[in-house]
């Protein structure tokens, strides 16, 4: 387990199947979450009201931790108490259901945060779009996931 994987270690141990190994992880968000957080923070500074988005339109948490194992893609909710720490397993996808992963054009949240955007393609035709403020972690997750996928 790499140093980057400490935030997911405890949650992974609770969700791991016997003999399953964690290969890569990183913090991810639904597209637009980090940009909205910047707007919410600016608005909160002006109004004194703190705005929080718990879930996205599809019911997934807005902020998650993605993990790739030798068997599955796992998405955990993030703890509200410790930013970035994985909490509850919200999605698990058998790697045989993943047909590919695509790195998309980078974007920015606020002025200084460069986001890594990527999409995970599933056999049923669905696409899971995610963004990460950790481009190195996202690249590691993408390359690890790509190496484990059998194209359709």
Which domains are delineated in the chain? 3-148 (2.30.29.30)
Q: Which residues contact 141 (CB under 8 A, 6 or more apart)?
A: 24, 25, 26, 66, 68, 132
pTM: 0.79
Name residue 29's beta-bridge partners.
Answer: 63, 131
Which pLDDT score is estimated for 72?
Answer: 96
C-beta of residue 135 within 8 angstroms of C-beta of residue 59:
no
pLDDT digit string, tens, across residues 75-104: 999 876 666 788 899 999 999 999 999 988
- For the chain, the average pLDDT equals 81
Start-end of H helices in the chain:
9-15, 33-47, 135-148
Which pLDDT score is estimated for 3?
Answer: 60
Instruction: Classify residue 81 by its DSSP letter.
Output: S
- Region 14-24: mean pLDDT is 95
111 or 126: which leads in pLDDT: 126
């Amino acid at each position: 387990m790499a140093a980057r994987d400490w935030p997911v270690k405890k949650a992974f141990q609770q969700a791991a199947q016997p003999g399953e190994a964690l290969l890569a992880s990183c913090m991810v968000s639904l597209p637009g979450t980090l940009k909205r957080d910047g707007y919410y923070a600016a608005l909160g500074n002006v109004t004194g009201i703190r705005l929080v988005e718990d879930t996205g339109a599809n019911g997934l948490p807005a902020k998650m931790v993605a993990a790739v194992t030798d068997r599955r893609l796992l998405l955990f909710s993030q703890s509200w108490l410790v930013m970035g720490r994985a909490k509850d397993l919200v999605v698990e996808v058998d790697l045989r259901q993943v047909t590919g992963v695509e790195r998309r054009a980078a974007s920015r949240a606020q002025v200084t945060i460069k986001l890594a955007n990527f999409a995970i393609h599933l056999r049923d035709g669905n696409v899971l779009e995610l963004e990460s403020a950790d481009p190195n972690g996202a690249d590691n997750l993408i390359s690890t996931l790509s190496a484990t996928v059998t194209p359709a």
